[in-house]
Structure 1
Amino acid sequence: MENRMSNALALNEQVVLVTGGARGLGAAISRAFLREGARVVVNYRNSREAALAIEQQAAGRALAVQADVTDPDAVAAMVATAQAHFGSAVTTVVNNALVDFAFDGDARPQGEIIAWERFERQFEGSVRAALNTLKAAVPGMRTQGNGRVINIGTNLVQNPVVPYHDYTASKAALMSLTRTMAADLGPDGITVNMVSGGLLRTTDASAATPEAVFDLIAQATPLRRVTTPEEFADAVLFFASPWARAITGQNLVVDGGLVKD
């Protein structure tokens, strides 16, 4: 087991799957890994042009693959396509995809009227999708004796300043899955961690947020500014890197110091 942990791959040796990797935060994560020399599978559901733009910018190190991550067969086919294309198993999975959600506090359904179907949709996009990618990628990780799984969470679990009931509940469940999977996969040299952000300036999901809300959040942070997708992506790189080889089952909040947990 000690050898497995010491065999952690450098970033430029990794084959990274980023779900929802063509837009917003996902695009920032995809580009961050590409900047460090990794090979990246840019998963998308509908954003074909954006995914192909990243592929074309990366000189053969990026591969755009369409798949609905809530469909286990589509995810298995995507992982197989990546291995065939790069000649190597997926080493790192970033579960970033977000199912049809906008951070608009005025438009959110309040607790007494929210429909259970909204919870189901977010649980499908967060928990089921992460389970699908794990099931597809872990056999290859296990064969090579190490791997990285990084789940994208939210600081709303610790600080529900805006009560997005469905989204926050799904991310809390994903945090639980992060910790249980870390215990299950640790003996195989596979780490499972979460990076949780606050409101990011700016992604497709946060574009609906009024500017005044960004300003209020900025003033509440020690850094006096709102975190960018690029800054958040750097924290994802840390968990994928050899420097994080002894860290698993953890949740790192990256929000400029807003939440202290």
Structure 2
Amino acid sequence: MVRMSAVPTSEHVVLVTGGGRGLGAHIVLAAAAQGARVVINYRRSGDAARALADKIGDKAFVVGADVTDRDAVRDMVAAAGEHFGTPVTAVVNNALPDYSFNGEDRSHADDLSWDELDAQLTGVVGGALNVIQAALPGMRAAGSGRIVNIGTNLVQNPVVPYHDYTAAKAALLALTRTMSHDLGPDGIKVNMVSGGLLRTTDASAATPGAVFDAIADSTPLRSVTTPEEFADAVLFFLSPWSRAVTGQNLVVDGGLVKN
């Protein structure tokens, strides 16, 4: 019999940023289905977050905070620990700054501004850094922790050159790898799950069916990844099965990108 030395998913308190809707909500539901206590973070989607918590029950805790606000993030993590009587031991950095995935209206090389890049870097990388640092004391006290950053396959395959968004996600991948080296001695694993266009979330709701069909035809599995399938991959990094895995980027897109 193989002995699992890592914390099972059911023992984690999992904080999902941007967890009130879209992909974040699917990750919350997947973690809760495995018995985890879930902290549903939101910035503006309070009603959706509370409705999701009502569906889950006592294992869910809702708290609003802008992840770019360092003090608000620390208060959020502290409130979650107080609510459940045990620290947050897993975080999923899913929150995104406001962004329009519109290939026809994106900034191009000639007009891309530093302000656009800075907004994405602050929200994606700065937000993740705030959450990680706020959760570290509790993870160290518990003797282990899991950090899962949400990335994009556009880093490897920028079929639509969203310069600012992709640059921020590439920086988050670098932070994933460097953090894994720094935090490994504390028993804290840091990984990334990267997807492409998902069928369907709020971000892809306006995507024409022909685009989904073209993506499906390009993948070995002949399908477009669903949010539920993506959330399953996140569960792997929250589970004992990944206890020897850190610093990795798992691309979940039906095989479109080989990582």
Give TM-score, length-normalised by structure 1.
Answer: 0.96
Aligned to 1:40: 38
| Contact kept in structure 2, 1:104 and 1:208, CA below 8 Å | no
- Provide the secondary structure at the position in 1 that maps to 2:115: helix
Structure 1 residue aligned with 2:195? 197
Give matches, 1:74-93, under 5 Å: 74-93=72-91
Q: 1:115-152: CA deviations, max 9, x gaps? A: 21111111111100110011100111011110000000
The answer on 1:118 being equivalent to 2:116 is yes
Q: Distance in 1 between matches of 2:104 and 2:209?
A: 13
Residues 97-131 of structure 1 show CA distances to partners (whole Å, capped at 9, x for unaligned) of 01111322112111111221111111111100110
Q: Do the aligned partners of 1:104 and 1:209 also contact (CA within 8 Å) in 2?
A: no
Question: AA paired with 2:14?
Answer: V
Give the number of equivalent residue pairs: 257
For structure 1, which runs of at least 5 residues remain unmatched after alignment? none
Deviates more, 1:132-141 or 1:209-218: 209-218
1:11 to 9, 14, 20: 9
| C-alpha displacement of 1:190 | 0.1
Given the alignment, which residue of 60, 63, 73 partners 1:62? 60
Match of 1:184 in 2: 182
Counterparts in 2 of 1:94-133, with a 5 A limit? 94-133=92-131
SS state at 2:48 partner: helix
8 Å Cα contact 1:178-1:194 kept in structure 2? yes
Verify the 8 A CA contact 1:105 1:209 in the aligned structure 2.
no
Letter of the 2:151 counterpart: G
Which residue of 2 is the match for residue 228 of structure 1?
226
Provide the C-alpha distance between the structure 2 equivalents of 1:242 and 1:251, rounded to a whole number of angstroms: 17
SS of the residue 1:205 aligns to: helix
SS of residue in 2 equivalent to 1:162: coil
Single out whichever of 105-114 and 204-213 deviates more from structure 2. 204-213
Identical-residue share of aligned pairs (%): 66
Superposition RMSD in Å: 1.1
Question: Alpha-carbon deviations, 1:79-105, whole Å to 9, x = none?
Answer: 000000000000100000011113221
Deviation at 1:8, TM superposition (A): 1.5
- Of 156, 159, 163, 2:161 maps to 163
Match of 2:23 in 1: 25
Match of 1:217 in 2: 215
Deviation digits for residues 6-42 of structure 1 (CA, Å, limit 9, x no counterpart): 6421111110000000111000000000111100000
Give 2:43's aligned amino acid.
Answer: R
- Counterpart of 1:13, as a letter, is E
Runs of 4+ in 1 over 6 A off after TM superposition: none
Q: How far does residue 71 in structure 1 lie from its aligned partner after superposition?
A: 0.5
The one-letter code sitting in structure 1 at the alignment partner of 2:30 is: A
- Which residues of structure 2 form unaligned runs of 5+? none
Is 1:175 the counterpart of 2:173 in the alignment?
A: yes
Q: Is the 8 A contact 1:7 1:146 kept in 2?
A: no
